[in-house]
């Protein structure tokens, strides 16, 4: 029962089966009731007619004349009457020499019953008390309803066959409708499979209203994954380029050592350089294939930035103090992306700060707004536009490769946010302002 399609099929099949059972009961009871009402109305009319004929007689006759028609004179015609007036009994000629097995009336004035008639007939009987010339008598009129019931039974079978055909047709239509309605889910599964293999695939979001949020979420995840993968590959290319020069310099130094006759030391250095090159190549290949971390974790600055700040302060040996001011609730931004973004910004601020870095963060359902300020020398206004260029370094005296702010810019663009640089009015150094909207 883990299949959504199977559950829907079973639920609809159960509903249709219940409807079919109700319909069968209706076909059994309603036509039978209609037949009985129709026959009973005619029997009541005949009983009243017999009563009227008796009122016109001076005494109770042995036979009713004129009769109610030839149908009550023809033997075993299926239409019979009997009048009980004390010890005297008047029967229709159609009964011939057969009597009706009638039960005595109780306190009720009239009754309706089913009795067995002559020649195996199934009779519907109507009996009623009347008063004629001061004498109480009972008039019973019966009619064979077997033919009508056979007709009703035949109609019931035909309607049941038609209902079963309609049920089968509805089930076929249901399978087609469910396949068509759930097709966006198949597309979503295929998109997730492509996403898992590292391929971003845009889906059509024009599905059923109930599935549209899911399709939109998968599309956002697919776009997010594609942008992250592109940024990761670009960053890996930058790292590879940055490592190439130091490795080449060390290789030249190993060659120089060999020319000086230090062959053992040169060979040892070459072995280590080869191991480093293999390790870097292997790890870069693995990172390129895997991309970055799993997307989707919510970012809460209260938890994430405190741990990040403590790690950076230890890394810079307590030279810099980071002051945090965080307000609002956790927001629906990827925690890995936000940690990478703030990690680069705070690391850059700590490198240039004299002793203070101040971080202000406002987070919530509408997105994230943050300011990072330091008390360092700052950056000239004319150089602000160049800070996010890959490999751009305004001062070679600090370690690094000039890639941190470029990575920050990539993340900001991925979330359609904004990044701005200015001078901190409070601390005097560089002030970085960023906004990341949601929705």
**DSSP labels, 85-144:** ETTEEEE-GGGTT----PPPP-SSSEEEEEEE-GGG-EEEEEEEEEEETTEEEEEEEEEE
State pLDDT tens for residues 6-36.
777 778 778 878 887 887 777 777 777 888 8
Least confident of 82-86, 92-96, 274-278: 274-278
Indicate the pLDDT class of residue 150, thresholds 50, 70 and 90: confident
Q: Which residue has the higher pLDDT, 86 or 229?
A: 86
Q: Please state the φ and ψ torsions of residue 21, each to the nearest 5 degrees.
A: -65, -45
Tell me which of 60 and 130 has the higher pLDDT: 130
Per-residue pLDDT, 197: 46
- Tell me what the mean pLDDT of segment 287-309 comes to: 66
Interhelix angle for 183-196 vs 212-259, to 10°?
10
CA angle 397, 402, 403 (to 5 degrees): 155
Residue reference for tokens 């030279």: 319
* pLDDT score at 413: 84
pLDDT of residue 363: 92
pLDDT tens-digit map of 108-135: 788 888 888 888 888 999 999 888 877 8
Residue 292 clears pLDDT 60, i.e. is over it: no
The first and second tokens of residue 6, run together, are 């199977």
Answer with the residue of higher pLDDT: 229 or 75: 75
In the predicted model, what is the mean pLDDT of residues 148-173?
A: 83
Q: Model confidence over 260-271: pLDDT tens digits? A: 888 888 888 888
Max avg pLDDT among 15-29, 145-159, 232-246: 145-159
| pLDDT given for residue 225 in this prediction | 67
Q: Where are the domains of the chain?
A: 4-150, 228-290, 301-437
* Structure-token pair, residue 37: 């009402």
Question: Which whole number is the average pLDDT over 392-410?
Answer: 57
Q: Report the C-alpha gap between 22 and 83 in whole angstroms.
A: 42
How confident is the model at residue 296, as a pLDDT?
45
Q: Is the pLDDT of residue 212 over 80?
A: no
Cα end-to-end distance, the chain, whole Å: 36
Contact 419, 409 (CB under 8 A): yes
The CA dihedral of 155, 159, 161, 166, to the nearest 10 degrees, is 170
H-helix segments, 197-300:
212-259, 263-290
Residue bearing tokens 């004498």: 135
CA atoms within 13 Å, Cβ hemisphere of 328:
18
CB 216 within 8 A of CB 205: yes
pLDDT top residue among 218 and 377: 377
192 vs 199: CA distance, rounded Å: 9
Instruction: Express as a percent the part of the chain with pLDDT over 90.
Output: 11
4-150, CATH topology level: Beta-Lactamase (3.30.450)
Tokens (6 digits) for 168: 């089968």
Position 208 scores a pLDDT of 66
Task: Give 369 or 162, the one with higher predicted confidence.
Answer: 369
According to the CATH classification, is domain 301-437 in 3.40.50.300? no
Q: pLDDT band at 379, cuts 50/70/90?
A: confident
| Sign of the four-CA dihedral 197, 199, 200, 204 | negative
pLDDT, average across residues 421-436:
90
pLDDT at residue 243 above 80?
no
Which strands form 367-374's sheet, in the order they lie side by side? Answer: 321-327, 356-364, 367-374, 430-437, 418-423
pTM, rounded to two decimals = 0.41
Q: Which pLDDT belongs to residue 358?
A: 93
Cβ neighbours around 109 below 10 Å, total: 10
Residue in the block written with tokens 């219940």: 18
Query: Rounded mean pLDDT of the chain?
Result: 78
DSSP state letters, 283-346 = HHHHHHHH-SS-TTPPB-HHHHHHHHHHHHHHHTTTSSEEEEEEES--BSS-HHHHHHHHHHHH
How would residue 371 be classed by pLDDT, with cut points 50, 70 and 90? very high
Please give the pLDDT value at position 233. Answer: 62
């Amino acid at each position: 029962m883990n299949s959504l399609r199977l559950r829907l099929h079973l639920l609809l099949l159960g509903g249709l089966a219940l409807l079919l059972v109700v319909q069968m009961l209706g076909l059994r009871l309603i036509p039978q009731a209609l037949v009985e009402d129709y026959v009973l109305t005619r029997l009541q009319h005949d009983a009243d007619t017999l009563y009227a004929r008796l009122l016109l007689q001076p005494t109770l006759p042995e036979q009713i004349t004129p009769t109610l028609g030839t149908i009550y004179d023809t033997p075993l015609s299926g239409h019979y009457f009997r009048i009980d007036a004390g010890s005297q009994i008047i029967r229709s000629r159609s009964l011939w020499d057969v009597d009706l097995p009638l039960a005595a009336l109780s306190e009720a004035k009239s009754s309706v019953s089913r009795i067995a008639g002559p020649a195996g007939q199934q009779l519907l009987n109507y009996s009623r008390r009347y008063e004629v010339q001061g004498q109480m008598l009972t008039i019973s009129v019966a009619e064979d309803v077997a033919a009508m019931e056979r007709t009703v039974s035949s109609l019931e079978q035909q309607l049941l066959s038609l209902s079963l055909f309609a049920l089968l047709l509805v089930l076929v239509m249901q399978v087609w409708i469910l396949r068509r309605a759930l097709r966006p889910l198949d597309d979503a599964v295929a998109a997730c499979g492509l996403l898992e293999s590292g391929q971003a695939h845009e889906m059509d979001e024009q599905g059923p209203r109930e599935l549209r949020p899911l399709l939109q979420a998968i599309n956002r995840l697919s776009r997010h994954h594609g942008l992250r993968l592109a940024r990761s590959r670009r960053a890996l290319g930058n790292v590879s380029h940055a490592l190439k020069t130091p490795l080449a310099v060390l290789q030249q130094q190993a060659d120089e050592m060999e020319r000086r006759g230090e062959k053992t030391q040169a060979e040892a250095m070459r072995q280590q350089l080869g191991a480093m090159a293999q390790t870097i190549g292997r790890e870069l290949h693995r990172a390129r294939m895997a991309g970055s971390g799993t997307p989707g974790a919510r970012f809460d600055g209260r938890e994430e930035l405190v741990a990040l700040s403590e790690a950076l302060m230890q890394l810079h040996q307590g030279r810099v103090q980071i002051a945090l001011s965080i307000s609002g609730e956790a927001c629906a931004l990827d925690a890995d992306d936000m940690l990478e973004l703030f990690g680069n910004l705070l690391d850059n601020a700590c490198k240039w700060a004299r002793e203070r870095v101040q971080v202000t963060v406002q987070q919530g359902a509408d997105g994230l707004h943050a300011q990072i300020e330091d008390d360092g020398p700052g950056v000239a206004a004319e150089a602000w536009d160049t800070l996010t260029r890959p490999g751009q370094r305004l001062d070679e005296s600090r370690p690094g490769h000039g890639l941190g702010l470029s990575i920050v810019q990539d993340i900001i663009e991925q979330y359609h946010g904004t990044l701005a640089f200015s001078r901190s009015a409070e601390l005097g150094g560089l002030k970085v302002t960023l906004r990341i909207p949601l929705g």
